[in-house]
A and B are shown apart, each in its own frame.
Chain A
Amino acid sequence: MDYFLHLAIVVTIFSILAMSLNYVAGFTGILSLSHATFYGIGAYATAILTTQYGFSFVPSVVIGMVLTAIIAYAASFPILKLKEDSLVLVSFGFSIIMFNVMLNWTSLTKGPLGIKGIMAPEILGVNFFSKPYFFALVLAVAIITYFFFKRITSSPYGIIMKGIRENQTVAAVNGHNVLRYQRSVFVVGAVFAAIAGSFTATFLAFIEPKLFELMPSMLILIMIILGGMASLKGSVLGAFILILVPEALRFLGLPPSILAEVQQMIYGLVLILVMYLRPQGLMGEYKI
């Protein structure tokens, strides 16, 4: 039971990540490879503030969100200045820099050793250490996330996002301030990644820079490509499949030493298969 709850929590956290990346990449066409960086900033904010400065969970989350918003806003200038392939590469460059900040600013982040002993959330006197409670909490946040993005994307704002994704020139000629929309979307998406990060930090009780480098960014991207671009439900499905399928390998009796490698190969294989067989993803509305 505990094991299943554990998986359910991981799936739920990744659903938040995938939905927020889909908001950025799937709806608006900003193919960012820096989502795990913002996820990491949220995680580190909560880890550092709660273990070193005596903050409780909720304020640490809020500070993580604000900090992420500021950093994402600043990063949006170089990233959104370019388009398509160049944008992808610049977002990747940004995430390399931030990864190295996490790795080398040891006085703050403890570098590669990571931060241990992060306490479970406590909100209004309720402790969420037990897995059912914790699951209920992240599930509630994921549901709020879903309806938040649903509201935006099914409003006229969503039409403009898709217009920008399809053709920035046409969107601009139709009177939409492309950069302003892109920047807003990028920052809002990043803030939700930060929330997922805060939960991850308290869930694992331990974080290290490795959790927030390129591979997790890729994993989230593959989730939304598999689930389908511009589909929030698809993102949840993508997270579900990509967490559970590799997990099933455990039962094949593979030695732990090669398990991680095989899991990563599955991600790669899924990506290739989707691009060839179903480029619009399982529930997506357009081809990438």
Chain B
Amino acid sequence: MLQVRDLNLRIGGLRILSDLSFDIKDGSITGLIGPNGAGKSSFYNALFNLFPANSGSIKFDGIELVGKTSDQINHLGIARTFQDSKLLPQITVLDNLLLGSKYLNPVNLRRVFFGHKTLKEEFKNEKKKAMELLRKVGLENKAHSLAKNLSFGQSKLIEILKIFMYESKLVLLDEPFSGLFPEMVKVITALIRELVASGRTIMFVEHDMRLIAEICDHVIVLDAGSKIAEGTFEHVKSKPEVVEAYLGN
């Protein structure tokens, strides 16, 4: 599904990612781990061309992503969350979800004025879908409040729900569990499993090794921008270089 080959990323002379290569298999859950500053978030940013790669290739279902714009990459079927919640604080929770909708994308003025009927219908359906998602996690009463009024955990939850608004094939999650209470971790774990059950392939960054061991079937370890190990969690955790760079004793 995803093939990364010799990916290099430099920012202001600093090497952020070096000759990174790995594959992600269809339907898998891949954990991306490594110490702070290893380049995990930067890899997501490079994939979405927020940090343009200096060389190398990222192929998604055979299509080259390097050089494409973020919106084009999204249209191919890739969705992501951000490490620090990127819900838009001054619009409503419902609108935040709708912003991730596939069917309202793209909307142009021609549709607003001349395709009004179908657009209205789609809009209604998407709103219904968003409300159902909110209901599922018990946040339907927050639909019309501004996102800035959500708690930290609630906004992380909404970010995951937003993924459901899009029929993405690959989902990149950046520390979806960090800072959450155990109950919320359970809720989000269940949602991730649901994403997998719906046929999506998942990659996620996480520092909690118990969660990695529990959820992932494949793990990639980064250190200082390079891949230092790859395999099942059992496999990578036994490697001395991984223990030294990240896991400690």
- A residues with a Cβ closer than 8 A to B are 151-152, 155-157, 159-160, 162-163, 166-167, 169-178, 184, 188, 285-287
In the complex, the chain B residue whose C-beta lies closest to that of A170 is B86
In the complex, the chain A residue whose C-beta lies closest to that of B102 is A175
Most chain B CB within a 10 A radius of its CB, from A151, A163, A176, A285: A176
Interface size classification for chain B: 35 or more
| Residue B90 interfacial (CB < 8 Å) | yes
Q: Besides A163-B91, A173-B50, A175-B105, 4 other CB < 8 A contacts?
A: A156-B98, A157-B108, A160-B99, A173-B70
A241 to B115, CA, bound (A): 37
**Would you call A157 and B107 a contact (CB within 8 A)?**
yes
Proximity bits, B31-72, A CB within 8 Å = 1, else 0: 000000000000000001010000000000000000001110
**Would you call B88 and A170 a contact (CB within 8 A)?**
yes
> Which residues of A are found within 8 Å of B80, using beta-carbon distances?
173
**Would you call B109 and A175 a contact (CB within 8 A)?**
no
Say whether chain A's binding surface is mostly helix, strand, loop, or mixed: helix
| Residue B74 interfacial (CB < 8 Å) | yes
Asked, given contacts A155-B119, A166-B91, whether A160 binds B70 with beta carbons under 8 Å apart, the answer is: no
A217 to B113, CA, bound (A): 29
> Which residues of A are found within 8 Å of B90, using beta-carbon distances?
162, 166, 285-287
> Which residues of B are found within 8 Å of A174, using beta-carbon distances?
71, 74, 99-100, 105, 162, 166
> Which residues of A are found within 8 Å of B107, using beta-carbon distances?
155-157, 160
Question: How far in angstroms is the closest Cβ of chain B from A100?
Answer: 33
Asked, given contacts A172-B71, A177-B71, whether A188 binds B123 with beta carbons under 8 Å apart, the answer is: no
A96 to B110, CA, bound (A): 34
In the complex, the chain B residue whose C-beta lies closest to that of A285 is B90
A266 to B204, CA, bound (A): 55
> Which residues of A are found within 8 Å of B142, using beta-carbon distances?
none
A174 to B69, CA, bound (A): 11
> Which residues of A are found within 8 Å of B162, using beta-carbon distances?
174
| Residue B95 interfacial (CB < 8 Å) | yes
| Residue B106 interfacial (CB < 8 Å) | yes
Instruction: List 30 A–B pairs whose Cβ atoms lie within 8 Å, in order of A's numbering.
Output: A152-B112, A156-B104, A156-B119, A156-B126, A159-B91, A159-B104, A160-B99, A160-B107, A162-B88, A166-B88, A167-B86, A169-B50, A169-B70, A169-B86, A170-B82, A170-B86, A171-B99, A172-B69, A172-B70, A173-B71, A173-B74, A174-B71, A174-B99, A174-B100, A176-B71, A177-B69, A177-B71, A188-B109, A285-B90, A287-B90
Asked, given contacts A159-B98, A173-B80, whether A166 binds B109 with beta carbons under 8 Å apart, the answer is: no
**Would you call B86 and A156 a contact (CB within 8 A)?**
no
In the complex, the chain B residue whose C-beta lies closest to that of A156 is B104
| Residue B89 interfacial (CB < 8 Å) | yes
> Which residues of A are found within 8 Å of B112, using beta-carbon distances?
151-152, 155, 157
> Which residues of A are found within 8 Å of B108, using beta-carbon distances?
157, 184
**Would you call A157 and B109 a contact (CB within 8 A)?**
yes
Question: How far in angstroms is the closest Cβ of chain A from B8?
Answer: 22
**Would you call A163 and B106 a contact (CB within 8 A)?**
no
| Residue B129 interfacial (CB < 8 Å) | no
**Would you call B99 and A163 a contact (CB within 8 A)?**
yes
Question: How far in angstroms is the closest Cβ of chain A from B106?
Answer: 7
Question: How far in angstroms is the closest Cβ of chain B from A92?
Answer: 25
Asked, given contacts A171-B99, A175-B105, whether A156 binds B71 with beta carbons under 8 Å apart, the answer is: no
Asked, given contacts A157-B112, A159-B98, whether A178 binds B71 with beta carbons under 8 Å apart, the answer is: yes
A176 to B98, CA, bound (A): 12
| Residue B207 interfacial (CB < 8 Å) | no
Interface residue from A160, A162, A175, A287 paired with B74 (Cβ < 8 Å)? A175
Asked, given contacts A169-B50, A175-B105, A175-B166, whether A159 binds B71 with beta carbons under 8 Å apart, the answer is: no
